[in-house]
Amino acid sequence: MNALDGDGNPTSSTYQVFHRLINLTGQGVAQFSVELGFGVGDSFVQAQTGQGVTISSGFKAQPDGSGAVSTQFPFGLFGDAADNPNFSLDGFFAPERTGLSVSTTETSIASTGFFGPYEALFGSWLSQGSVPTGAFWDNDNDASTDALLMAWLNPDGQWEVRRDVVDISLGTAASLLVPATFATYDDAVDFLGLDGVMSQGAIEDLANLNLNFAIEVGDLVNAESFTLRTTMLAAPVNEVPAPAGAPIMALALGALALVRRRAR
């Protein structure tokens, strides 16, 4: 969707952003913010109204009803397969979507707290180095695709199987209504009947948050590029005040390559 001037010519262009935020801070995260501006590092200055770059308020993020901005932890872990034609299994941990609610201004996005079951399960947005271990089944015998998460090592030190095999030859599985727990990994593998085709590994997607929004770009004022800066705020640990937000990513986008110039 492009804004038009009085002659019907575009004054700006809107670009959808499929953004993935990965917590590599080494600690839990409670909040994040995304800001549009100019410059990087200590020279960053947030953009103001009228400077030619804004968060699009007219964009409709997916899924339907999310407004102009949506977030979600990966669907394979949380989500209802009935709502997504790309998946035949509900999320491993829950069929409910989960992520962080947000508020927006013309030049910023800021999280306002969790929605869905993620916080109840893990407390805060986990760092990649702190995610739990999972048991994965290479159900399609293809190393180039993601293996299917079947069980995880829960906080009680038990291997919790949340999916069962439907047909080994077809590589299909189904969610268990009641998870089965086992004292050892080998016991869990025996229950599934997947000896030799399962492996252990970190459930890395628990550290990954998908962020869907759009940027509206017009003629920039006194600049040839702009910056998209993301900041994460650490979660409190044992009631100790969290440190100041640490910028973890600054992505400069060349506006000259993006802007559809007005017809002269």
What string of DSSP letters covers 49-108? Answer: TTSSEEE-SS--PTTTTSTT-EEE--TTTB--GGG-TT-SS--SSBSS--EEEEEEETTE
Tens of pLDDT, residue by residue over 84-101, are 888 889 999 999 999 999
Helix (H, G, I), strand (E, B) or coil at 223: coil
User: Are residues 201 and 134 in contact, defined by beta-carbon separation less than 8 angstroms?
Assistant: yes
Q: Which fold has domain 1-127+206-264?
A: Immunoglobulin-like (2.60.40)
pLDDT at 243 over 60: no
Domain boundaries, the chain: 1-127+206-264, 132-202
Tens of pLDDT, residue by residue over 64-91, are 778 999 999 999 999 998 888 888 899 9
CB-based contacts of 181-188 (< 8 A; 24+ apart in sequence) = 181/154, 182/158, 183/158, 183/159, 184/159, 185/135, 185/153, 185/159, 187/159, 188/135, 188/150, 188/151, 188/159, 188/161
Alpha-carbon distances of 241 from 172, 182, 244, rounded to whole Å: 46, 38, 9
Residues 54, 68: Cα–Cα separation, whole Å: 12
User: Are residues 206 and 102 in contact, defined by beta-carbon separation less than 8 angstroms?
Assistant: no
Tens of pLDDT, residue by residue over 192-227, are 999 999 999 999 999 999 999 999 999 999 889 999
pLDDT at 9 over 70: no
Residues 148, 50: Cα–Cα separation, whole Å: 48
Residues 58, 216: Cα–Cα separation, whole Å: 10
pLDDT confidence bin for 62, thresholds 50/70/90: confident
Burial of residue 89, with CB atoms counted within 10 A of its CB: 0-12 exposed, 13-18 middle, 19 or more buried: middle
**190 φ, ψ (degrees, to nearest 5):** -60, -40
Give the Cα-Cα-Cα angle 117, 35, 13 (nearest 5 degrees).
105
Distance of CA 186 to the CA centre of its chain: 32
Residues 154, 177: Cα–Cα separation, whole Å: 17
pLDDT at 12: 78
Give the Cα-Cα-Cα angle 25, 75, 110 (nearest 5 degrees).
50
pLDDT at 7 over 90: no
